[in-house]
Amino acid sequence: MTDLPAIIAYQGVPGAYSHLSCRKAYPELEAKACHTFADAMFMVDSGKARFAMIPLENSTAGRVEEIYRLMPQTKLHIVGEHFEPVNHCLLAPKGSKISEITAVSSHPQALAQCYGNIAELGIEPIASLDTAGAAADLSVNPNNKGLAAIASSLAAELYDLNILRDNFQDKSGNTTRFMILARDSHMPELKPDVRFMTSIMFTVRNIPAALYKALGGFSTNGVNMLKLESYMASDTMTATSFHLDVEGHPYQESMKYALQELDFFAKEVRIMGTYPWHPFRLRDDQIIE
Q: Which residues contact 98 (CB under 8 A, 6 or more apart)?
A: 90, 92, 121, 164, 165
User: Is 59 a residue whose pLDDT tops 80?
Assistant: yes
The per-residue pLDDT for 144 is 72
CA distance linking residue 184 with residue 160, whole number of Å = 38
User: Is 206 a residue whose pLDDT tops 50?
Assistant: yes
Provide the pairing of β-strand 175-182 with 240-247. unpaired
Amino acid code (one letter) for 189: E
The region of weakest confidence among 165-169, 220-224, 264-268 is: 264-268
CA distance linking residue 18 with residue 289, whole number of Å = 31
CA distance linking residue 217 with residue 214, whole number of Å = 7
CA distances (Å), 84 to each of 75, 121, 280, in order? Answer: 25, 27, 9
Amino acid code (one letter) for 149: A
Closest to 96 in 3D by CA, of 133, 132, 140, 146: 146
pLDDT band of residue 288 (cuts 50, 70, 90) is: very low
Query: For helices 253-265 and 210-220, what crossing angle results, to 10°?
Result: 170
* Contact by Cβ (8 Å): 266, 214: yes
Q: What length is written for the chain?
A: 289
Closest to 96 in 3D by CA, of 44, 130, 141: 141
* Contact by Cβ (8 Å): 67, 37: yes
Mean pLDDT of all residues in 59-84:
90
Tell whether pTM > 0.95.
no
Which residues are part of the catalytic machinery?
Answer: 176, 178
Evaluated on CA atoms 61, 67, 69, 71, the torsion sign reads negative
Q: Residues 132-185: pLDDT tens digits?
A: 999 999 998 766 779 999 999 999 999 999 999 999 999 888 899 999 999 999
The per-residue pLDDT for 289 is 39
Domains and CATH numbers, the chain: 7-85+175-182 (3.40.190.10), 89-165 (3.40.190.10), 196-282 (3.30.70.260)
- The number of C-alpha atoms within 13 Å of 5 and in the hemisphere containing its C-beta is 14
User: Is 53 a residue whose pLDDT tops 90?
Assistant: yes
Looking at residue 190, what DSSP letter applies?
P
pLDDT band of residue 89 (cuts 50, 70, 90) is: very high
The per-residue pLDDT for 193 is 92
- Give, for 108, the enclosing helix (H) or strand (E): helix 108-113
The per-residue pLDDT for 2 is 63
